[in-house]
Amino acid sequence: MTHAAPALLAWTAVALVGAGSATAQGYAVYEHGTCAMGRAGTGVAAPCRDGSAMFYNPAGLVGRRGIDLTVGITAIEAFGGFINDTTGLKTDLANPLIPVPHLFLRYGLNERMAAGIGVFVPYGLGTEWPLTFEGRFAGYDNDLRSIYIQPTFAYEIASGVRVGAGLDVIRSKVQLTQRIDLFEQETNVLGLGTIVLGQLGIPRNTEVAEARLESAYATAVAGHVGVQVRLSPRISFGARYLTQATIDYAATVDFTQIPTGIILPDGTIFGVPGPLPLDTVVAGLMADGERLSTQGATTSLPMPAQLVAGFAVKLRDDLMAMADYQLIRWSVFDTLRLEFATGGEKVLAENYRDTHAARGGLEWNAAARSTVRLGYLWHTAAAPDLTVTPLLPEGQRHEVTVGYGFQATDAFRVDAAYQYIRQEDRRGRMREPLAGEPPTADLNAGIYQFRAHLFGLTFHLAF
């Protein structure tokens, strides 16, 4: 057997990072503060008056003295599935509730200078499919975590002109579990050369092993800068830029054999006379140093740059409207290079596209201690048609939000928000291409559907 099984596993593990997330474009996440979440993530020109400005615009940290702590969580309930073209049957996602935490600590030295540190997850995903789904051979239990730790400094350089910057230390890891289909694997047999085992009569969907790839935490560094300008007493402009980072992963691939019970009536094609249990052949390939033994794999992935710019307008003293434009440079995820401990290298085309988003939000101070928020956002898809896979396929989305903030005391506030995601149905594939074949849209075999409910809760305490 060739390197096809571990190569396919490692490729799919990394592909999950480009397949989509539960909440946003590509594998990006944007819900890092419930106040901002309630207004669809708008606020680059008028960040919420809490530590979440470290993400939405570092310049927004200034303007008040003292220490404040912002801590919260966004719970993501994703649902959807795949409708098979041939059978018409639908397989539903089996995702659990996914928690995405955020934590910000801010210190205002005076009205014009502030510093802080934030912890948030701007890139990540998690997907689970039932083992009855054919897509289990691409990946059925997958997880990506990219934790950003950002010390931040902000300063008002002139009246109404604020700047801020942060250094992002990134800790990231990836994990994938999938089944290996014996039908798709290659082998060398006497007199036949290298062939796909399906040519020997092995039926499709013959599970021969469970494969699990898990990397150690890798570290990288990025930068984050922002500017906020008050153009008039009622109009503000803001922009921020998060730089690209590249994560170098070192992973371990483990294989666990799954008995097939298949007996080859003529084992001479493997150099053994008479009938041959196929499980014996596979067991030999899983011995130390063999093709399906525990081994290492390495690759590099981009965490792409983000640019956001927008305006905030006070329509009345108690009502503010906000609009933001967001660009994520997903086109840097063009190819993927993989190297394996058993030898060999594989370069795969991903062909991602830059994505664009438009966000709009309203914030109404309904009473002395109560704030109501509404929002809507739309964004394009990063993945082209040829890379829509079971690893949580993403697409063009429409999202609506609603939020509420309550100032319980002068020092304590709680914010809650709800967000609904409706992704447009999208054609995609269940399986990866066979060895040597490029991915094409012709492999797409059905319709992926995706919806999600997000629930956010954040506590803000000022000292």
Name all domains of the chain by residue range, CATH numbers in brackets. Answer: 4-183+212-258+294-462 (2.40.160.60)
The residue among 101 and 127 whose pLDDT is bigger is 101
Write out pLDDT tens, residues 259-305. 988 887 776 666 677 787 888 878 877 877 777 778 898 888 888 99
Say how far apart CA 448 and CA 97 lie, in whole Å: 20
pLDDT reading at 18 higher than 60? no
Residue 104: partners with Cβ closer than 8 Å, 6 or more residues away: 33, 50, 51, 52, 54, 69, 70, 71, 116, 117, 118, 119, 120
- 180 CB neighbour count, 10 Å cutoff: 25
The predicted pLDDT at position 190 comes to: 55
Once rounded to an integer, what is the mean pLDDT over residues 187-202?
Answer: 68
CB 7 within 8 A of CB 346: yes
Write out pLDDT tens, residues 332-354. 988 777 777 875 666 766 788 99
The predicted pLDDT at position 2 comes to: 38
pTM (predicted TM-score): 0.86
Confidence bin at 23 (pLDDT 50/70/90): very low
Once rounded to an integer, what is the mean pLDDT over residues 297-320?
Answer: 93
pLDDT reading at 308 higher than 60? yes
Range of lowest pLDDT (127-136, 277-286, 410-419, 446-455): 277-286
pLDDT reading at 202 higher than 90? no
pLDDT reading at 116 higher than 80? yes
Q: Is the dihedral of CA 23, 26, 27, 33 positive or negative?
A: negative
The predicted pLDDT at position 153 comes to: 98
CB 42 within 8 A of CB 237: no
Confidence bin at 29 (pLDDT 50/70/90): confident
Q: What is the largest CA-CA distance in the chain?
A: 89
pLDDT reading at 17 higher than 50? no
User: According to the 3-state scheme, what is the secondary structure of 128-166?
Assistant: ECCCCCHHHHCCCEEEEEEEEEEEEEEEEEECCEEEEEE
pLDDT reading at 11 higher than 50? no
Q: Which among 227, 304, 251 is positioned nearest to 18, based on CA atoms?
A: 304
pLDDT reading at 225 higher than 90? yes
The predicted pLDDT at position 138 comes to: 83
Q: What angle do CA 58, 60, 63 make, to 5 degrees?
A: 135
- Helix (H) / strand (E) element for 6: namely helix 4-15
pLDDT reading at 15 higher than 60? no
The residue among 433 and 463 whose pLDDT is bigger is 463
Q: Residue 94 gets which letter from DSSP? A: -
Q: Residue 447 gets which letter from DSSP? A: E
Please give the mean pLDDT across all residues of the chain.
Answer: 86
The predicted pLDDT at position 413 comes to: 96
Q: Which among 115, 90, 120, 96 is positioned nearest to 105, based on CA atoms?
A: 115
pLDDT reading at 26 higher than 70? no
Query: In this prediction, what percent of the chain has a pLDDT beyond 70?
Result: 88
Q: In DSSP terms, which residues pair with 123 in a beta bridge?
A: 28, 146
Write out pLDDT tens, residues 388-418. 888 768 889 999 999 999 999 999 999 999 9
The tokens for 437 are 């074949």
The residue among 141 and 268 whose pLDDT is bigger is 141
pLDDT reading at 374 higher than 60? yes
The predicted pLDDT at position 189 comes to: 59
The tokens for 441 are 């849209």
Say how far apart CA 428 and CA 445 lie, in whole Å: 6
